[in-house]
Structure 1
Amino acid sequence: MPELPEVETVRRTLIELVAGKTVERVTVSLPRIIQRPAEPEQFADLLAGRTILTVERRGKFLRLLLDGLTLVSHLRMEGRYGLYRSGEPVEKHTHVIFHFTDGTELRYRDVRQFGTMHLFAPGEEFESPPLNKLGLEPLEESFTLDELRKLLGGRPGPIKPLLLNQAYVVGLGNIYADEALFSAGIHPERPADSLKKDEWERLYAAIRGTLARAVEAGGSSIKSYVNGQGEMGMFQHSLLVYGRKNEPCPRCGSAIEKTVLGGRGTHYCHICQPPLRGKRSAQRSGARKAR
C-alpha cells in the first residue's frame, strides 16, 4: 500500500498535471469506488464544470480541492492516477475518468479495486470518515517530540504496531516504521512505555528523517507503485533493513531477521536493536518468526 512518501509524491505530481483544469464530465465504470455520494451519477453531476485548484494530502489520503468541492481519494493497495489525451487507449482496470475541457483525461486505474473516493463541501471532510479520526502528520510542525511521547509514551504495547496506528501517527507505514526503528536502534517489540528520553529523541528524529528522505527520493517502488507520470520511486535502493532478511546488517554485519508483529512482516537487527530484557521484556503478543 502506498504510504506517506508515495502519496506525497503523487500529490506533487498531480498538482503539476491537473491544477487549473476544468472537469467537463466524469465516467465511472466501477460504482463501488465512489463512496460519497452513494450514486455515481450524482458524483459525476456534482463534479461537472468544477475546476481543480490544487491537491493536498492528509495521511495516506489525497485531497483534490475544486471550486466548491473537495474530493478525498484513497489509493489503497494499487490505485494510481495518470493523465492522458482524449482518444488514447484506455487500460484495463481503469474505473474512473475525469474528462477535462482541454481534451485531456485524468484516469484512475486500480487492479485490486480497493480504492475509494468521497466528495465533501470544503472543510466538511475533516468532520466525517475517513479523515475525522486521523492522528498527527509526521512531517508537519504539529508533530513534535512532546506530542509523540504524550500519545505513545504511556502505552504498554509494542512500539511498532503503535506507530502503524493511523489514530496516532498517519502515513508511516510498514516499510518506514522498520527503517525508522532501525535508525533509532529500537527493537520493534519494545513496549512503548519502556523507552527512555534519549530513545524517544532518536525515534522522533528517525521518523522525520526517514520520511523526508523517502519523499525526496519519490517514495519506494517495492511492487507496483508509480507516480502520476508513471515514474518509479527510488528509496527502495536506500532501505537498510526492510526486505533484507538474512542479509548482513549495514552497521554490525549480523544477519537481518524477520518476524511477524501485529500481522505485519517486521525486519530488524537483534544486535543493533536489542530487545528489552528481564521482567519488562516485551510480550510476543502473537509474533512469530517468519519462515
Structure 2
Amino acid sequence: MPELAEIHRIVHFIRQHLVGKTLSKVQAQNDDIVFGKVGTSASEFQKAMQGKQIMGAGQQGKYFWITMSSPPHAVMHFGMAGWLKIKDADTYYYRSDKPADKEWPPKYWKFLLETSDEPKTEAAFVDARRLARIRLVDCPADDIRNHTPLKENGPDPVTDKDIVNEAWLKEKVGKKKVPIKALLLDQANISGIGNWMGDEILYHSKIHPEQYSNTLNDDQIKELHAAIHYVCSTSIGVLADSEKFPEHWLFNHRWGKGKKNQPAVLPNGDKITFLTVGGRTSAVVPAVQKKTGAVAKDVDEDAADGTPANTKRKRIAPKKESDSEAEETPKTKKRGASPKQSIKSEEESEEEKPKPAVIGRRQSTRTK
C-alpha cells in the first residue's frame, strides 16, 4: 500500500496538473467494491464531479482528497496497487515497456477525468486488485478531516507536525504495551507510516521493532521522534523518488539487490535480518537496533539469517471493510518498497518475489 511519501507524490501532481481546472467529462465504472463498500456508487461519483472545478487537494497519511467547487468532495486511498495516472505526466510508481501500460485509457480504470482547457488534462484512477476505496464526503472542504474515514485516523506527521511532537509521542507510546513497530503501523495512532517507512524510522532511531512501546526510555523516544520527522520530510522532499533517497538508508540495501538467497547487508558490512512483527515482515540491523527492554518475542534464528524471504505464501482474502477502514491497520497487508524503485505492494513483494518497480528516472531492469 502506498505510504505517506507516495501519497504526497500524487497530491503534488494533482495540484500541478488538475487544481484550478474544470472537469468537462467524467466517467466512472460501476464497482460495488471500490465505490460501493464505502457507500458511494460510480454514478453518484460521476454526477458529483461532472462540470465542477477542482479547487484543491490534500492528504492525511495514506488518504488523499480532491476538493471541488461545491460539495461533495472525493476522498480516496489506493489499497495495495491503486494509483492515479495523469496522461503524459510522470506520476506513476513504476516504469514499463509493455505497450498495454501505455494505452489510454489505462487498463483497470475506475474513473476518468478530462478538463475543459486546451490542451486538456486527462487523469485516471486505476486499481487492478480492487482494494482501493473511493468515496464522496458531503461537507465544506475545510471540514473533510472531521468526517469518516479521516477522523478515525491519527495525525499525519507532516501535515500535523505541531501535534506529533515529542510530548505527544511520549504519551502515545507510554499508554500502550505493543511492539513499537506495530504501534507505528496502526493508522489509528499515526497516519501514513507503513512497512518500509516504519523500518527506516526504527533503524535511524536504533530501536528494535519488537520492543514494547511502553519500555522506551526518554532518550529513545527523543530519537524516535527525530527519526519520524527525518524519514518523512526527506522522502517527501524528493517526491518519494527512491533513486534520490540517501545512500545510507536501510531502504537501499534491504532487498538483497533482487538476488535470490543473497544476504542483505549495509555498505559497512552490518547484516540485515528479517523477522515478523505485528504480522509484517520487518528488516532489522541487529548491530544497531538493540533490545533494551521487554520484547514481544525473541528473534527466530531461522528468520534472522540475513536472507530476504523469497518464498511464496498463501494469499489471504482481505477482511471486510468497516467505516474506520480497518484494513489500514497493521493487521492487514501494506505496500512495501524496493531499491532504486517506487514502493511496490508489500503483499506482492512478500508473497510473490521481491521484483520491485521504479519511481526514479532510470528504466528498471526488473519487472513488476
Query: Normalised by the size of structure 1, how large is the TM-score?
Result: 0.85
Question: Percentage identity across aligned positions?
Answer: 25
> In 1, Cα distance between the equivalents of 2:39 and 2:246?
37
Aligned equivalent of 1:281: 294
> In 2, Cα distance between the equivalents of 1:285 and 1:219?
33
> In 1, Cα distance between the equivalents of 2:4 and 2:213?
22
> In 1, Cα distance between the equivalents of 2:74 and 2:168?
29
> In 2, Cα distance between the equivalents of 1:3 and 1:111?
18
Matched ranges for 1:12-51 at <5 A: 12-32=12-32, 33-35=34-36, 38-51=40-53
Matched ranges for 1:262-277 at <5 A: 262-276=278-292
Matched ranges for 1:44-193 at <5 A: 44-69=46-71, 70-84=73-87, 89-102=104-117, 103-120=120-137, 121-122=139-140, 123=142, 125-139=144-158, 140-193=161-214
Aligned equivalent of 1:240: 250
Deviations 1:188-231 (A, max 9, x none): 0111111110110001001100111111222156xxxxxxxxxx
Unaligned runs of 5+ in 1: 222-232
Higher share of residues assigned strand: 1
Q: Which amino acid aligns with 1:212?
A: S
Q: 2:30–2:41: 8 Å Cα contact kept in structure 1?
A: no
Q: Which stretch shows the higher mean deviation, 158-167 or 72-81?
A: 72-81
Q: 2:115–2:122: 8 Å Cα contact kept in structure 1?
A: yes
* Deviation of the 1:141 alpha carbon: 1.6
Q: 2:154–2:191: 8 Å Cα contact kept in structure 1?
A: yes
Q: 2:3–2:193: 8 Å Cα contact kept in structure 1?
A: yes
1:256 aligns with 2:272: yes
Task: Indicate the SS of the match to 2:150.
Answer: coil
Q: Which amino acid aligns with 2:284?
A: Y
* Deviation of the 1:37 alpha carbon: 5.1
Q: 1:37–1:43: 8 Å Cα contact kept in structure 2?
A: no
Deviations 1:85-144 (A, max 9, x none): 8xx732211221122223432211112221111112225533443212111211222110
* Deviation of the 1:267 alpha carbon: 0.7
Query: Normalised by the size of structure 2, how large is the TM-score?
Result: 0.68
* Deviation of the 1:56 alpha carbon: 0.8
* Deviation of the 1:3 alpha carbon: 0.3
> In 2, Cα distance between the equivalents of 1:38 and 1:65?
16
Instruction: Count how many residue pairs are aligned between Structure 1 and Structure 2.
Output: 274
Task: Indicate the SS of the match to 2:152.
Answer: coil
Q: Which amino acid aligns with 2:86?
A: L
> In 1, Cα distance between the equivalents of 2:157 and 2:123?
29
Q: Which amino acid aligns with 1:162?
A: L
In 2 relative to 1, CA 198–108 (structure 1 residues): closer, same or farther, beyond 3 Å? same
* Deviation of the 1:286 alpha carbon: 10
